[in-house]
Amino acid sequence: MPIAMVTRRMDQGQPATWVKSLLLLGALLFALLAFYPQQARANLDCSVANVNMDFGTAETGTDVVSWTCTIYSDNPANTTLCLSPGDPYPGTPDAPAMQNSTGTLLYYHLFRDPGLTQPLTPAEPATVPVSMPAGIGVTTGGTITIYGRIDPGQTVASGDYVGDFFNSVLGFIAEGSSECQSSIQVGDEIYTGRAGTFEATANREASCTISALGDADFGNVLQTDTNLSTSTQISVNCPVGTAYFIGLEPSNGNDDGAGVMAGSAGNSDTPGYQLRSASATGPIWGNSATETSVGNGVAGTGTGAADAISVFVTLPSTAFRPDSYSDVVTVNLNF
């Protein structure tokens, strides 16, 4: 109280009414301060840690989302907590996506169940029941598990991919509604959750596939034929922008693409052939290619689709006994 600071001197015999007034003023100020309203607080307040579906290098992912609720009420709380993704970027609600630094899109979907049959969408949020006793500052918590899958059949460049869901909600489902709301009123009480950003990340490593589209068949030849040629194709599918180098290795292990064919048992004749690229008179196609160098192989760059590459085989001479001859060539794809 400021009474100790008063230095006014009373004349003898003067009524001391001013002291009483000062005491009343101090009491009034105390009363006003005591009942000044504080900032309103939700009766049930729930929050969640950062939500991040990290696929890593896998095709599927799982995110265990931790939530916490605190009650400030003389009444117990019984409600349904929900987690709803918001507006995806990039992509659309029906086709959310992640993108790399060059803008290449990688599409994925989120689910509420490990069998990946129940989509996670704003209209179909993940839910968990919450029951809390009455109390002031009483806290409880739990988890909501969500699942993800990279859409199959995508061939994209290697690198890091990131996507977001903006306006995502950790909230409540009011009675008679299916919408996940960040705040609802239950009687005279307010339940408050959070709105925020949901992130999805992935890392794609370069992944290429290669297959043979058929045999290189010379058919029936005469012993007088010379300088015969035939061809076939191989199919290569690599992510957009991925450099690759292809080597061909005959069964005899020759790195210059010079192989030999074998006939039936007891036949010692071994017709020799040569593998070539571009044409029947093109460069030899051997097996010195590596992950960083074409060597005597063939180089290419992925388009994200299957690319057909021709292989030519020449047979300089047919001076061998009648029989069926064949060999197996191994295709080595380096990327």
Residues 108-118 have pLDDT tens digits of 999 999 999 99
Distance CA 203, CA 191 (A): 38
Distance CA 334, CA 21 (A): 96
> Residue 10's pLDDT band (boundaries 50, 70, 90)?
very low
Model confidence pTM above 0.75: no
3-state secondary structure of 19: helix
- The two beta strands, 77-84 and 126-132, are antiparallel
pLDDT(20) > 60: no
Residue 112 neighbours by CB under 8 Å, 6+ apart? 118, 119, 120, 124, 126, 146, 147
Which fold, 209-334?
A: Immunoglobulin-like (2.60.40)
Q: Which of 309, 250, 252, 245 is nearest to 277 (CA)?
A: 309
Residues 269-305 have pLDDT tens digits of 999 999 999 999 999 999 999 999 999 999 999 888 8
- Alpha carbon distances (Å) from 215 to 221, 230, 231, 234, 254: 16, 10, 8, 10, 19
Bridge partners (DSSP) listed for residue 193: none
pLDDT recorded at residue 288: 97
pLDDT(23) > 50: no
Token readout for 201 is 């990340």
- The two beta strands, 272-276 and 258-260, are antiparallel
Show me where the domains of the chain are located. 44-204, 209-334
User: Phi then psi for 20, rounded to 5 degrees?
Assistant: -60, -40
Same fold, 44-204 and 209-334: yes
Residue type, 121: T
Residue 220 neighbours by CB under 8 Å, 6+ apart? none
- Say yes or no: domain 44-204 is CATH 2.60.40: yes
pLDDT recorded at residue 244: 94
> Residue 160's pLDDT band (boundaries 50, 70, 90)?
very high
Find out whether 329 and 250 touch, Cβ atoms under 8 Å.
Answer: yes
Distance CA 298, CA 13 (A): 118
Q: Which of 183, 165, 174, 6 is nearest to 87 (CA)?
A: 165
- Alpha carbon distances (Å) from 288 to 42, 107, 154, 243, 248: 71, 37, 30, 16, 9
Q: Which of 80, 46, 86, 84 is nearest to 173 (CA)?
A: 80
The DSSP call for residue 8 is P
Within 10 angstroms of residue 195's Cβ, the number of other Cβ atoms is 15
